[in-house]
Amino acid sequence: ILNVEQSPQSLHVQEGDSTNFTCSFPSSNFYALHWYRWETAKSPEALFVMTLNGDEKKKGRISATLNTKEGYSYLYIKGSQPEDSATYLCASATQGGKLIFGQGTELSVKP
Amino acid sequence: GAGVSQTPSNKVTEKGKYVELRCDPISGHTALYWYRQSLGQGPEFLIYFQGTGAADDSGLPNDRFFAVRPEGSVSTLKIQRTERGDSAVYLCASSLRQPPYNEQFFGPGTRLTVL
């Protein structure tokens, strides 16, 4: 059974601050690591799907790195804005495709 | 284009009642997943369909839960004799590519409250 952990559970930052979150996952039988952003009352939005060790992906002010050998991924947000406030979820994919999610990091950005 | 839709958005029911939750995936997506998120936790896998058949139903908590996808498109999650512990947000996702590298597109969820 996979166990995906995220830290911190919640984060409160000021507008303009840069921040990062951690996702740890079992490194054995790794297939893919997904990051989602989930705003209240909306659908979870896919940010990244990462598969290769050392992979780095970027989308605007958000970027992510992946270390499959040690089983962790970092998500970075540069210059946080109030619209970045959301819950950020990571999930490890099994061979069959189901996602095993962490409990999420709730980000609140104050103007 | 249209995304994944789920109905109803909110459902309040009484303990012991039967409920059905509907998912309309993105047109052409052959893979469909159900997850549920309980308060304070991440989404938890329930069942995965590839076409009309359930390829993996290992996440269904007990035999009160059942899901169908008779024509390979719309799916219905059915919960019999609901319990207060069934209260959660039920999420549906669909995907075009084969697992395990497929991006899953989520609907907004159905918030189920069992009184």
Cβ neighbours of residue B88 closer than 8 Å, sequence gap 6 or more = B36, B37, B38, B39, B111, B112
Strand locations in B1-115 (E):
5-7, 10-13, 19-24, 31-37, 44-50, 53-56, 65-68, 75-79, 88-95, 105-106, 110-114
Q: Which of A23, A57, A98, A103 to mutate to test the interface with B (most CBs of B within 10 A)?
A: A98
Alpha-carbon distance of B5 to B10, in angstroms, equals 13
Give A15-45 pLDDT, tens digit per residue.
999 999 999 999 998 999 999 999 988 999 9
| Closest residue in B to A51 (Cα–Cα) | B101
Taking the Cβ of residue B108 and every Cβ of chain A, the question of whether any pair is shorter than 8 Å is answered with yes
Alpha-carbon distance of A81 to B63, in angstroms, equals 45
Give B48-106 pLDDT, tens digit per residue.
999 999 999 999 999 999 999 999 999 999 999 999 999 999 999 999 877 778 899 99
CB contact under 8 A, B40 and A103: yes
Cβ neighbours of residue B65 closer than 8 Å, sequence gap 6 or more = B46, B77, B78, B79, B80
CB contact under 8 A, A91 and B101: no
Give A39-77 pLDDT, tens digit per residue.
988 999 999 999 999 999 999 999 999 999 999 999 999
The enclosing H or E element of A48 equals: strand A45-50
Contacts of A48 in chain B (CB under 8 A): none
Decide if A66 contacts A73 (C-beta within 8 A): yes
Q: Which of A99, A100, A103 to mutate to test the interface with B (most CBs of B within 10 A)?
A: A99
DSSP B20: E
Decide if B89 contacts B79 (C-beta within 8 A): no
pLDDT band of residue B1 (cuts 50, 70, 90) is low
| Closest residue in B to A88 (Cα–Cα) | B42
